[in-house]
Structure 1
């Protein structure tokens, strides 16, 4: 019998992802990473709907010890448990980690069939209901049913699994699924957009036309869906590195007049993001002005799209990015710091602006500024980065930026 006092299980029960990561990475730590408690720890994380702990286990534990497709006493795998509880972030994390959606439960239902059943029947009446952010940052609602927390992500899970199983869900049905949820940050929106944009051949052309036709729809949610599908089709185009995407110019042709006429800030999110990602030079024109848009998400996308113009020493673009380092929104300030990386080395203004961000009230902005300074061989942020030495593990959002700094210093 597994001891409930095992340090790994205790850390999982406490929701302490940092402790879980430390145990799995300890110097002689193959015991925890490969030991008999790993599978039990994974089940505890799934039952707690704890995405951060789950992420640490999936990234750092020995894959053979995870037992992703093992059945519990009810005959259900971890994936089936996550599907049943409507936890889209947990279900997709398990699926991407290798959990087999074809394994069936005691009633003969695989993950797709169970998701379809719960999509059809709904979650039922719960003891209470609240809105939370899941591990992916998406909005979802929770209800307590029979002592268990159940989320309303079943339709998003169904849409994800349909696409992965090769089922082409009609565009109109994907649109209906998304628009049934008023919050565009709900996971069903992302799942429906990816399913629509992920088609091939003539089906993709039909999808493009259907999405473009939504530009003049009276409902802003429909316009949002159309714009986001178009953005994702262009973003995910698999043309060769030296080939121009066949969707890039048509997207800019559509988005330039659209962004001038659109009045709903939510629709402006994918419009701005699409222009920021486009290769057509015309897409850059509205971005400096959009860094002053009232909505912070729009400003963040716009400033992120100015990196190339900053690198080319465009004075309007550089002025816009420098101003955004003082924006009221931390996400915008962080994006501005990243956009300054390739600014001209002979201009002191970018490094001075980054140095000013070292005292920002938000940690993410401070660290991003310090990273960019280090990559520009400016040492003013070194003390902040050195203080992080030994405290950042592989599940930290700072792990890879700090790795870039280390590699840059090694290459000098």
Structure 2
């Protein structure tokens, strides 16, 4: 138990949403189950505010997610009710299947299922009695997902109960049928929606051959959203490097699927997944789609050809050269990446990347700058292009350009560092920032103390 002083500070830190202060106060002895002014543990306040970092800090510090509240609920129950899978993950705690009795687990699952089936608007109408229209906004939930937040009658709830239900089922090791999970995912057919990502992740955790077979069977579904989900799921497995023992079968399946798929977006995702596998006919599979009318498909061809330049046939090299002149900038970038270590193509890669630094899309300019900064081409034209990018509006692009100049020990590097401008402290460990620190140290240029990215560094800073 903490003393009143640190507990008061903890209440203030939770209200302010200061997770760092919360962790510090818990280490100083604050009671993680401190009760707020509403008579509830401060964990409930974090849950109601959808404050994931604070909720996570409290649970990590010992707050009890299962403590029974005056209304018979628990902080975990409220997290389920709130519809945010990110908050649920923060509050769920360790070993929930072993910690929570079966009747309580069933009640939590029933709550999540009923909220998912009813939808947030109907639940808010029931609670508030309001009959007017609800307000819906899109909000980030977790690091990579999004969800709708629905407000009505002074209350708000997030519409992520499908993801909450999926996450709870897996936490309690309830093996929901694959078809039911996929139907849940495609209810909002967006690969960044929390319902989709929760199902995708859960199926990566279920690594049996039976689950894999049930998932890939949906590649024949007439509904393109289900086919897209399967392709996205297989690609997620490949990107994460997850081994499940069916890789050879999966590679063959993807090769056949690529020959049959008619939807451009689904086919692009199939080829992206295929690129993560070894297959004896991978070049033939990739070349078959080099002239596809959908640029999303053509963008996947260079990676699908594989990384071994020495194993490429003349036909593959010719196709990559053609793709370096494609109408789509992303196709050109992919072709350049595939040829970056091919000495015979280096000059053409450089010419293409130089042209892309003037693209109207800032993300394309950034990717071109990244490729040029790490390029083996040390000609003045590359350095000049990087120097020209120091006038770009994007701080990250200016950082990449300065980094490329530092790698070349270009005399314009000192001025480039000054042009980078302030960045968030999150970039303190960025390899480019550290490289610029090292360049400054080697050159011993005054002042003795200098600032980059909001981080002060001396020449003898160990980060260098």
TM-score above 0.5, yes or no: yes
Shift of 1:160: 2.4
Task: Note if 1:405 corresponds to 2:434.
Answer: yes
Question: Which structure has the bigger radius of gyration?
Answer: 2
Shift of 1:34: 4.0
Q: 1:225 aligns with which of 229, 237, 250?
A: 229
Q: 1:362 aligns with which of 378, 390, 394?
A: 394
- What's 1:162 paired with? 169
SS at match of 1:346: coil
- What's 1:132 paired with? 138
Q: For residues 247 and 379 of structure 2, what CA distance do their matches in structure 1 show? A: 34
Within-5 A mapping of 1:163-312? 163-207=170-214, 209-214=216-221, 217=222, 219-239=223-243, 245-246=247-248, 249-250=251-252, 253-254=255-256, 257=259, 261-264=262-265, 267=266, 270-271=269-270, 273-274=272-273, 277=276, 282=283, 285-286=301-302, 289=323, 299=330, 303=333, 307=337, 309-312=339-342
Shift of 1:319: 5.2
- CA-based RMSD of the aligned residues comes to 4.7
Segments of 5+ residues of structure 1 without an aligned counterpart are: none
So what's the TM-score if we normalise by structure 1? 0.69
Shift of 1:186: 1.6
SS at match of 2:248: coil
- What's 1:65 paired with? 61
Shift of 1:31: 4.4
Segments of 5+ residues of structure 2 without an aligned counterpart are: 35-41, 125-129, 287-299, 304-319, 439-461
- What's 2:441 paired with? none
Cα pair distance change 1:330/1:239, threshold 3 Å: same
Task: Note if 1:382 corresponds to 2:414.
Answer: no
Q: For residues 397 and 360 of structure 2, what CA distance do their matches in structure 1 show? A: 12
- What's 1:36 paired with? 30
Q: For residues 305 and 358 of structure 1, what CA distance do their matches in structure 2 show? A: 25
CA contact (8 A) 2:147 2:159 kept: yes
Q: For residues 437 and 254 of structure 2, what CA distance do their matches in structure 1 show? A: 36
Q: For residues 148 and 326 of structure 1, what CA distance do their matches in structure 2 show? A: 48
Shift of 1:202: 2.2
Shift of 1:203: 1.7
CA contact (8 A) 1:142 1:151 kept: yes
CA contact (8 A) 2:228 2:269 kept: yes
So what's the TM-score if we normalise by structure 2? 0.63
Between stretches 367-376 and 182-191, larger displacement belongs to 367-376
Between stretches 307-316 and 42-51, larger displacement belongs to 307-316
Q: Which has the higher contact order (CA 8 A, sep 6+)?
A: 1
Q: For residues 431 and 235 of structure 2, what CA distance do their matches in structure 1 show? A: 30
Q: 1:88 aligns with which of 85, 89, 94?
A: 85
CA contact (8 A) 2:13 2:22 kept: no
Cα deviation code 1:152-191 (max 9, x no counterpart): 1111121223234433332322221122224443211112
Shift of 1:121: 3.8
